[in-house]
Amino acid sequence: MEQERQAGQDLAQIRKRIREKRESYASYNFTPAQNDLLRAFFDLAQEFDSNEDFYQVCVAALSEFLGLESRLYLLNREGEELLLYCDSRRGLLPLPEKAPAYIHLGCKAYDSDHSLLIPIHRKPSELQEGRKKTLSMLVMGVLEVYPMEKISKADRFFLRKYSNRIGYNLHNRLISHENIRHLNFINNLVMDIEHNVITPNMYFKHLFNQLKARISDIDELEALITGLKKSQGVPKANCELVISKVSTLHQRLLENHRELLEHHANYSLFLESLFRRDHFAKGRFVLRPRKCAIDQEIVAPQLDHFLNRFKSRGIVVERPGDMEGEELFLRVDVGLLTQVYANLFSNAVKYTAEITSRRGERRKAVAYGREIIPDCFGPGRDGVKFNVFTTGEHLSAAEAKTVFADGVRGERSKNQPGTGHGLAFVKQVVEIHGGVVGYEATEEGNNFYFVLPVPRSEEEAPEPPLLGADR
């Protein structure tokens, strides 16, 4: 009964708003061209999905129906700077341009020497209720319309209403796109967790099985000691056998304990870096960079973590001399970059194959290293290239082009477990550090690498690329 009463009240409120709108539209007294413009605007706003197309509709409609030129300025994602995104004469700009000095953000329309500047208001949000409003919470941009001599007083009123329509449509679009980005990020994050944490965490089962075997050894030892205790004149050889077994068992248990601690620390780091609150709040990976000794804090621990797996597959680890002499310090997100190496070493375990070297010798090896690339990111911006090389057959040309794409798996991976997500994760993490990833075929195998920029100063931290409202 209560629900029916509430539904009736809701319908009555909606009918009231419809009547108010009908009365408002009658008082606006828009011209046929202005009414046609609004109808075309609403139709095309639904027809075109991308923000880039929507921007062009906003400026082109004024030109086509009213003969007025216009420019669309919007705040960037950080809400700190007004940028020109679209111009009725030039169309969509390849890269947004900084607004000229005479353009400023405000809640009311104003004139310049040659144009009318109208604020583009945001749609009021329930999330903003009770919060102190900032200008960027109220206004998202500016619509510049010119020439002034063609804008009548009636046009000014229409343009304010038109700008409001742009703001409401764009507000809903940005929320929709942000929600889609959030969902895509969460979907990818679930795959990251499965690939980097849940699947490798099955290694705990192997460690527990080893512990169970050691416990069985203790049972045997207990039985042996009991037998010795009952016997008369225990032979020295038997005593030495007990001592030897105890010593061996002690070392194995210590090794198991060490592996469990390292495994726990490794995946605790992975969990911390994947389950950060900031990731979910922003809908993207948020870096927590700090100055880090790359070789000592990231590469060496991951290599130790994979050594037994390399050994069990007969893979020789070739350690580089250049990473043992001088340590390299960069500001990076340790947890995320550690997972980059975990993914690269995990792939090396799966896909390293034996080859005949240039010397005619059999070789099955993984190697890693780094090198400085001068001016890699522009004049005076050096890069550090980190390599993980494995022997084996080269990727095909088609595989080489798509190897970092999400869900793509090569021909040789059909018999190997995996999702095809690991290298896509590597690419994502490296790029938010401002770097690039790549693959290259070498004489005896395959080299997967990533390049990170060398900071100009110790205080320079990696930041994700700034994205505009349309990106």
Q: For 248-271, how does the pLDDT look when each residue is reduced to its tens digit (9 = 90+)?
A: 777 777 777 777 777 667 767 777
Q: Which amino acid is at 113?
A: D
- Whole-angstrom Cα distance, residue 123 to residue 125? 6
The per-residue DSSP string of 199-240 comes to: TGGGHHHHHHHHHHHHHHHHHHHHHHHHHHHHSSS--HHHHH
Query: How confident is residue 74, by pLDDT bands cut at 50, 70 and 90?
Result: very high
Backbone φ and ψ for 381, nearest 5 degrees, come out as -115, 90
Rg (CA), the chain: 32
Distance from the Cα of residue 236 to its chain's centroid: 65
Calculate mean pLDDT across residues 49-78: 90
Minimal CA–CA distance to 145: which of 258, 221, 60, 262? 60
Backbone φ and ψ for 360, nearest 5 degrees, come out as 80, 15
Minimal CA–CA distance to 298: which of 254, 351, 257, 344? 344
Query: How confident is residue 127, by pLDDT bands cut at 50, 70 and 90?
Result: very low
Reply yes or no on whether the pLDDT at 388 is more than 80: yes
C-alpha separations of 441 from 79, 370, 389, 396 in Å: 44, 17, 9, 10
248: left (phi over 0), alpha (psi -120 to 50) or beta: alpha
Query: How confident is residue 235, by pLDDT bands cut at 50, 70 and 90?
Result: confident
| Structure tokens given for 280 | 């979910």
Instruction: Enter the pTM of the model.
Output: 0.52
Specify whether the CB–CB gap between 259 and 186 falls below 8 A: no
pLDDT in tens, 184-219: 777 676 666 656 665 555 666 667 677 777 767 776
- Judge if the upstream peptide bond of residue 374 is cis by omega within 30 degrees of 0: no
